[in-house]
Amino acid sequence: MDAMTTIITSAELGEALSGATPPVLLDVRWQLSLAKATGAPAFDGRAAFAGGHIPGAVFVDLDGELAAPPGASGRHPLPDLARFGATMRRAGVSPVRPVVVYDDGQGWAAARAWWMLRWAGHPDVRVLDGGLSSWEGELTTKTPDPARGDFVPAPGAVRLLDADGAAALARTGVLLDARAGERYRGEVEPVDRVGGHIPGAVSAPTTENVGPDGRLLPAAELRDRFKALGISGDTEVGVYCGSGVSGAHEVLALAVAGIPAALYVGSWSEWSADPARPVAVGADPQ
């Protein structure tokens, strides 16, 4: 992938918005809910959007519009394609207009939207590097009214893994686990049925792809990181996480480094829900 399909800076976005073909802007603010485990209130992305967003941006709800309801296929399975397409057209998405997605800075939700659109065949999607906190322009509370788009999903532009495919890739290539190390090792598991990891997967927390300023590390540093994890030029690479959200952010980081990678959308939430599937614990991939 090139720069036109990975990330964009705040300055570049400001310039693009004043150009002849401004990008469609999607606001995908979201946070992993630990309300059941901690009692903390759930994050309300729609309320955050109403409180201020980049002018012209349309809010997209990750839980309700970029995923199907939780179930046997995980906590954030692929959404119904017809509904996803309708959501994108409502937001003004067309195949001939670039799309920029952003969230509140962590990058996970924006990367999920980026991955969904790339998988569904959109040719020009980028993530605002550093999220809303990096935006140097004004914010607005005005409700947008975009012209209806005509994007129709055509899945398959990027590779998708299922559970069996992830298990096989852990043996034949490199399967990266994008979650925090303690969840990979099975020391804690705040969300899913059991802790641990897919046997053979390599721990690679996606938080380590980001610098202290909240932006992705430079491409050369990302390449060095992934090389140290066993990825060379011809390595087949897959990624999973808890439910296909932070894993999409790792796929984005890999893309910035010039490394194509498949995403296992069901991820640990699907894998661990099946007691018949093996679970590895500890720092050793096996």
**Digit-coded pLDDT (tens) for 245-259:** 999 999 999 999 999
Residue finishing a domain among 116, 134, 152: 134
pLDDT at 36 over 90: no
The answer on 238 and 186 residing in a single domain is yes
What confidence score (pLDDT) does residue 31 get? 87
pLDDT at 34 over 60: no
Residue finishing a domain among 134, 151, 186: 134
What confidence score (pLDDT) does residue 241 get? 98
**Cα angle vertex 117, ends 191, 108, to 5°?**
35
What confidence score (pLDDT) does residue 1 get? 54
Residue of 137, 128, 149 lying closest to 18 (CA atoms): 137
Tell me whether residue 48 is in a domain: yes
Tell me whether residue 279 is in a domain: no
Tell me whether residue 260 is in a domain: yes
Report the DSSP beta bridge partners of residue 101: 26, 127
CA distance 3 to 7: 6
pLDDT at 47 over 60: yes
The answer on 130 and 10 residing in a single domain is yes
- Look up the pTM and report it: 0.95
* pLDDT tens per residue across span 182-209: 999 999 999 999 999 999 999 999 999 9
The answer on 206 and 99 residing in a single domain is no
The answer on 43 and 126 residing in a single domain is yes
Residue 49 gets the label, from left (phi > 0), alpha (psi -120 to 50) or beta, of alpha
Q: What is the mean pLDDT of residues 19-39?
A: 80
Tell me whether residue 46 is in a domain: yes
Tell me whether residue 155 is in a domain: no
CA distance 148 to 90: 5
**Buried b vs exposed e over 99-112: b needs ≥16 C-beta within 10 Å?**
bbbbbbbbbbbbbb
For residue 176, give the H/E element and its range. Answer: strand 174-177
Residue among 241, 245, 251, 262 flagged as catalytic:
241
The answer on 49 and 164 residing in a single domain is no
CA distance 96 to 40: 42
What confidence score (pLDDT) does residue 50 get? 96
Tokens of 229: 């994890």
The sign of the torsion formed by the CA atoms of 146, 120, 236, 187 equals: positive
CA distance 15 to 9: 10
Q: What CATH number has the domain bearing residue 105?
A: 3.40.250.10
Tokens of 82: 């017809």
pLDDT at 68 over 50: yes
pLDDT at 28 over 80: yes
250 lies in which domain range?
160-271
Structural domains in the chain (count): 2
CA distance 236 to 171: 11
Q: What is the mean pLDDT of residues 146-172?
A: 97
Tell me whether residue 203 is in a domain: yes
pLDDT at 224 over 90: yes
The answer on 164 and 104 residing in a single domain is no
Instruction: For residue 241, indicate whether it is catalytic.
Output: yes
CA 123 and chain centroid, separation? 17
The answer on 182 and 117 residing in a single domain is no
The answer on 84 and 199 residing in a single domain is no
Tell me whether residue 17 is in a domain: yes
Contacts of 42 by beta carbon, 8 Å cutoff, 6+ apart: 33, 35
